[in-house]
Amino acid sequence: MLQHAQSSLNLPLLDLRQFDQGPFEREKFLSALRAAARDVGFFYLTGHGIPDREIDGIFRLSRQLFDLPEPEKLAIEMVNSPHFRGYTRAGWEITRGRQDWREQIDIGTELPALPRHPDLPAWTRLQGPNQWPEAIPEFRNALLEWQASVTDLAVRVLRAFALSLGQPEDVFSPIYNGAPNRLIKLIRYPGRDLTSDDQGVGPHKDSGFLTLLLQDRQKGLQVETEQGWIDAEPIPGVFVVNIGELLELASNGYLRATVHRVITPPANTDRISVAFFMGARLDATVPLLDLSPELAAEASGPTADPLNPLFREVGRNYLKGRLRSHPDVAQRHHADLLEQFVL
């Protein structure tokens, strides 16, 4: 079915099983990966090894969460968490100054909060526990198991990216080993009349190494290309993968994080997606890879955006994004940082 569908897809389709089928097939996969990441920045990934039953279970739990009565969802609202964890109502996350029309829960690595001290870096405030819905007892264990599964997949893809750039496959491991910055977003886009604002989530780039996304059957994700916006059509059980700003910085712009957005679905429908963002440790600094002369000649440096400066210090870069995206959390818990981080 996927082979038949490939001709009608706007994004490249890669099969991760090819990576393990001997040197010749591996090299073909790495060449296709490098081209997909450089030319489009997005691709479909099949052959990833995560069972359909596990994927179906995450979608089922997502629907259970969003079907809860509003008071139960607001009991774990993100504004209660200085670590930017928990539930966010539609319209309460901001992308480039505009409201995103989606409700969601943010789940990061489950760790104890660090003490707040003026001598500690500001990004240490991001570490802490998640908020879990009491009405769904199995939610916590299932999501932490999902986090482990998609982390393993993300590391496999990241190792392939390293090899595609002519690097040792573990070149990135020093900046993610031990405590990678990981984030799961379960997201529901409520349908609405498209004669009003159609922003589900506004145009943006992702800040980490890479993003792994699952979509239900309702389309909405769009990718910006030189020819304009293209749809990333949903394929059941297949991940949409895109590179983030860490790979752009590390490759000196040979790979580029791609701008994308989500369009609000039609009225009387909705859209569920499950996103996983794989990042480096918050205490890490992004290295500049020593590319071959052929690749280096095609690297034009990271994108310069005066409205969104990129920092090689991972924690500083990630904290900047969180403060901008969630102004209610920023005002309640981090007002002392706003002048420094929010332009």
What is the per-residue pLDDT across 144-161, written as a single tens digit (0 to 9) for each?
999 999 999 999 999 999
Q: Is the predicted pLDDT of residue 1 greater than 50, yes or no?
A: no
Beta-carbon contacts of 272 under 8 Å, excluding residues fewer than 6 positions away, are 59, 62, 63, 66, 186, 187, 188, 189, 215, 216, 218
Positive or negative: CA dihedral 149, 154, 155, 159: positive
What pLDDT sits at residue 312?
87
Within 8 A by CB and 6+ apart from 117, the residues are none
pLDDT of 297 strictly over 90:
yes
Share of the chain above pLDDT 70, in %: 95
- Chain segment 114-142, per-residue pLDDT in tens: 999 888 999 999 999 999 999 999 999 99
Instruction: Read off the pLDDT of each residue in 249-259 and give the average, rounded to a whole number.
Output: 92
- What's the domain count of the chain? 1
Q: How far apart are CA 283 and CA 315, in angstroms?
A: 6
Assign 30 to helix, strand or coil.
Answer: helix
pLDDT at 4 over 50: no
**What is the rounded distance in angstroms from the CA atom of residue 82 to the CA atom of residue 84?**
6
pLDDT score for 302: 85
* Average pLDDT rounded to a whole number, residues 266-283: 95
Distance CA(201)–CA(98), nearest Å, equals: 9
CB 36 within 8 A of CB 44: no
Give the per-residue pLDDT at 192.
84
Q: What's the rounded mean pLDDT across residues 251-255?
A: 93
Check residue 8 and give its pLDDT.
Answer: 52
Residue at 319: amino acid letter: L
Instruction: Work out the widest C-alpha separation in the chain, in whole angstroms.
Output: 58
Distance CA 101, CA 86 (A): 17
316 phi and psi angles, rounded to 5 deg: -65, -40
Is pLDDT above 50 for 167? yes
Cβ-contact 150, 214 below 8 angstroms: no
> Per-residue pLDDT averaged across 78-106, rounded?
93
Distances (CA, A) of 50 to 40, 154, 238, 239, 294: 25, 12, 10, 10, 36
* Stretch 295-317: mean pLDDT: 84
15 versus 197: the higher-pLDDT residue is 15
Q: What percent of the chain has pLDDT over 90?
A: 80
Q: What is the pLDDT of residues 52-72, one digit of tens each?
A: 999 999 999 999 999 999 999
Give me the pLDDT at residue 342, please: 61
Residue range of the domain that includes 151 = 2-341
pLDDT tens sequence across 181-226: 999 999 999 998 765 678 888 999 998 999 999 999 999 999 998 8
Judge contact between 100 and 89, C-beta under 8 A: no
Tell me the three state secondary structure of residue 3: helix
CATH code of the domain in which 12 resides = 2.60.120.330
What's the chain's Rg over C-alpha atoms? 19
Percentages (nearest 5) of helix, strand, coil residues in the chain = 35, 20, 45
DSSP β-ladder status, 42-46 and 13-15: parallel
- List phi, psi (to 5°) of 247: -70, -30
Q: What is the pLDDT, as a whole number, of residue 279? A: 96
pLDDT over 70 at 278, yes or no? yes
What confidence tens digit (pLDDT) does each residue in 96-113 have?
888 889 999 999 999 999
pLDDT digits (tens, 9 = 90+) for 33-51: 999 999 899 999 999 999 9
